[in-house]
Amino acid sequence: MQDQLLKSGLADKKKARRAKQQKKEDANRAKRGEIELEDPAERARRQRAEQAEKDRQLEAERHRQQREREIVAQIRQLIETHRLDRARGEVAYQFVQDKKIKKLHVTEPQRDQLARGQIAIVALGEGHELVPTTVAEKIRQRDEAAVVLLNDRNVQDEDDPYADYPIPDDLMW
């Protein structure tokens, strides 16, 4: 076989010599018990299986990265289509993000809605936007970290002695 490869020009004498030397070294190691001499067909089968496993892992990683990009794009689209206008925001609303206090200028009704949990603050790139609570819940399903502030609507004080009593509908203040 070596002669045929040499004549066709696919291998040179140096490569043939290295292959012969490697074969002798493998045989000597097998005699000493350092390695098991394996069949070339078995080695090729094992290498194909290893390569197939590497390919599967790479494909899974690519698929995971593609999924992450899709989720980021979905979040961006949700925020951009449903964000509330806060251009005339004159009230500073402070919130905590990553152990830092951040400030966002909102209107007075938006501040009240934030406090009652009707709207939420979400992160968009380096900035923040206001979105309705339903949109914030959809964003939270995709990425928990994207929702910066979403106050609970049903906040009740556990020490409230009147918590068990219903509020009458006709109550006037």
Quickly state the pLDDT bin for 58 (edges 50, 70, 90).
very high
Return the pLDDT at 154. 64
pTM tops 0.85: no
- Over residues 66-87, mean pLDDT: 90
Three-class secondary structure of residue 104 per DSSP: strand
Higher pLDDT, 31 or 149: 149
- Over residues 28-48, mean pLDDT: 76
- In this structure, of 8-22, 86-100, 104-118, the range with the lowest mean pLDDT score is 8-22
Residue 124 has pLDDT above 70, yes or no: yes
